[in-house]
Amino acid sequence: MSTTRRLLACLLLCGGCSRGVQERPRVLPEVEYVGKLERWCAEGQQERCFELGDRLLTGDAIAADPERGTRLLTDACKAEVGRACHRLALAHQRGEALPAAPERVLPLLEHACGAGAHRACFDVGGHHARGDQTLRDLEKAAAYYDRACDHDVLDACVALADLLTAGEQLPADPARARELRVKACRAGLQGVCEQLSAGR
């Protein structure tokens, strides 16, 4: 039997031979998707540039390149992609971004909140509640928590409930606090149902 016939018989009977015939390497779906992100971003799709920038910061299915990742996120944030502003703020906070600029964290979070990244509103509230990079202001914290809670950021609902229970710098409102905890409990947020059972 000729070499060609032996190879064909091997392919038909056993799906390939261990010697002489090599399988073509499989392209991983993630790698393929990153290639599409590169193309979409080059076409000016800023939401895709956000995704690509995020991956470049962490090296997710692509070689890590914090400098380029930061640049892509910055451009997407300027294009009012709220999630890009939020991710960029977290990158500065965690030291992932290049160059590092921790003083930019709160302004970026505020920008992200205004651009519709509701989780960022919760983070801004936390900064005001703690007095982190700003004066401690529980009224402002409550306003940001309320905004995030309205968009079903459940951690924000609980944080607002805690402020309304404590009654520091703003009037205590136990009834509203309970409503907020009930909302979070019904949505499945762990620990909140136990607080309600304990009478909080």
pLDDT beneath 70: ranges in the chain: 1-28, 199-200
Could you report the per-residue pLDDT of 86-100, keeping only the tens digit for each? 999 999 999 999 988
Residue 86 confidence (pLDDT): 98
Phi, psi of 174 (to 5 degrees): -60, -35
**What does the block give as tokens for 198?**
């304990």
Task: For residue 96, give the 3-state DSSP assignment.
Answer: coil
In this prediction the pTM is: 0.81
Q: How far is CA 135 from CA 46, 148, 162, in A?
A: 34, 21, 19
Burial bucket for residue 169 (CB in 10 Å: 0-12, 13-18, 19+): middle
